[in-house]
A and B are shown apart, each in its own frame.
Chain A
Amino acid sequence: DADVTQTPRNRITKTGKRIMLECSQTKGHDRMYWYRQDPGLGLRLIYYSFDVKDINKGEISDGYSVSRQAQAKFSLSLESAIPNQTALYFCATSDPQGQGFNEQFFGPGTRLTVL
């Protein structure tokens, strides 16, 4: 089984709809992240969480919210989706005590299309 899983893998929705993307991990890492990737570009950080009680905004958090339900689960919500949120979304995890300081490991991605 994959260490970091994301659901759904693909989603098409309409403008104004509320959407939730989910991330689960079995790596036992405390730190989790959400990134988005626009076509032809690198990834940009949306939100990150160092533990269940810690949530921090990244560089592009407007229009998004997150929930850290447990150490292993981190969800990203789009309260009212708009077309320019069409992108590939990645979840990642890291362990500051691991062999590689905060080496991040990524899920398979969720391809979201907002019509």
Chain B
Amino acid sequence: GIQVEQSPPDLILQEGANSTLRCNFSDSVNNLQWFHQNPWGQLINLFYIPSGTKQNGRLSATTVATERYSLLYISSSQTTDSGVYFCAVAGGAAGNKLTFGGGTRVLVKP
């Protein structure tokens, strides 16, 4: 099956800082999603982005499908951005079954 690796595993930011999270995957995909898991455990959809670039407020994402990676950018970070960010992909014979990466744990300090 598809392998998904996220980096870095942990990130500590000062409020107001910018950061980039990376997701590498091992095969072609037809679905790539970024999620934010808040401290209460809820998974929040951030982006559906199997290719291209999208922006939503202070967050943006870029997927370069031909090179098998995706980047999530957080600008002007806030304490509410703390939590775990997951990349999940699906593709090939696996169809719509999402495979999750191990996540990047982000802590934004005031």
Instruction: Give residues in A with beta carbon < 8 Å to B.
Output: 31, 33, 41-45, 48, 58-59, 88, 90, 92, 94, 96, 100-106, 108-109, 111
Contacts and interface: CB of A to CB of B under 8 A. Distances in A.
A103 B42 CA distance: 17
Contacts, number: 58
8 contacts: A41-B103, A43-B98, A44-B100, A90-B43, A103-B48, A104-B98, A108-B42, A111-B41
Interface residues of B, number: 23
Interface of B: 1, 4, 30-31, 33, 35, 41-43, 45, 48, 50, 86, 88, 90, 95-98, 100-103
B43 A109 contact: yes
Contacts of B97: 33, 45, 48, 58
Contacts of B103: 41-42
Given A48-B97, A58-B97, A41 B102 contact: yes
A33 B97 CA distance: 9
A90 B86 CA distance: 14
Contacts of A43: 86, 88, 98, 100
A90 B90 CA distance: 17
A48 to B, nearest CB: 7
Given A42-B86, A43-B100, A101-B30, 10 more contacts: A42-B101, A88-B41, A92-B98, A94-B96, A100-B48, A101-B50, A102-B95, A103-B48, A104-B98, A109-B42
